[in-house]
Amino acid sequence: MTASNLPPVFSLHRGSLPLLISIPHLGTQIPADIAATMTPVAQRTDDCDWHLDRLYAFAKRMGASILTPTYARYVIDVNRPPDGANLYPGQDTTGLLPVDTFDKEPLYRDGQLPTDAEVARRRDAYWKPYHDALTGEIAALKAEHGKVLLWEAHSIRSHVPRFFDGRLTDFNFGTSNGASAVAGVAEELAAMVEQHGGYTAVANGRFKGGYITRQYGQPLEGVHAVQLELSQITYMEEQMPYAYDEALAGKVEPLLESLVRTALARVEAA
């Protein structure tokens, strides 16, 4: 497949509400030239945020704009700063171009690690288009509505010892310690989950928001960003083939919709 007929870098569905759902780790594709330098484990894309487009299908029905990438985070992580800086100093994390999986399995064959030139090429080819689309849609929604809620949708396995001890809280809301959104919204959402029953929740705990949340969440300028890192055990099988669990997801989906609607109402009232 040549560069001219490769799949588009991202998909953007434009909605009618001042709401943009970004799912930056949904992609699973790896271009053939990059895959040729990688280990077989990379093809499994284990660290994908599986099925979030399906779990958030309600958002399209309610009128949200939805932005998703085509390519896997193993190609480049669009939720990392372009310079690759660690957002959690002192804690382990994967970088702009991950070189290993969450379980520390190598992603590249011996002698095939990306060069600085390759990092720059991928940043221009994959990272920049996603952020150009993100910037453009936020600007369009703000121009139309005056305010925007950017909801950063993420998920992760419930046990990843590299990043946290024990089982992860089910719903992890992040607003960069309150800097990226209207005051108290993360705490309100966490309280809603706890009151709903059946799930645990925390505000600005281990996951406070990645690069997108921190970079684009500017509440004084009318752009409010909330990240939800959802434990995958709440809606899917966490082992291959990473199947969607209809019964589990059917319980999470209505709660998720209530959370998004509540956050949007808070933003509109701010």
pLDDT digits (tens, 9 = 90+) for 113-169: 999 999 999 999 999 999 999 999 999 999 999 999 999 999 999 999 888 889 999
- Mean pLDDT confidence for 175-197: 97
The CA-based angle 255-188-265, given to 5 degrees, is 75
- Mean pLDDT confidence for 37-65: 97
- Mean pLDDT confidence for 24-35: 97
Would you state the pLDDT for residue 5?
62
Would you state the pLDDT for residue 2?
40
Q: What percent of the chain has pLDDT over 90?
A: 90
Confidence of residue 88 (pLDDT cuts 50, 70, 90): confident
- Mean pLDDT confidence for 36-44: 96
- Mean pLDDT confidence for 61-86: 95
Domains and their CATH numbers in the chain: 3-269 (3.40.630.40)
- Mean pLDDT confidence for 77-90: 86
Would you state the pLDDT for residue 240?
92
Confidence of residue 7 (pLDDT cuts 50, 70, 90): confident
pLDDT digits (tens, 9 = 90+) for 238-263: 999 999 999 999 999 999 999 999 99
Which residues are registered as beta bridge partners of 225? 150
Q: What percent of the chain has pLDDT over 70?
A: 98
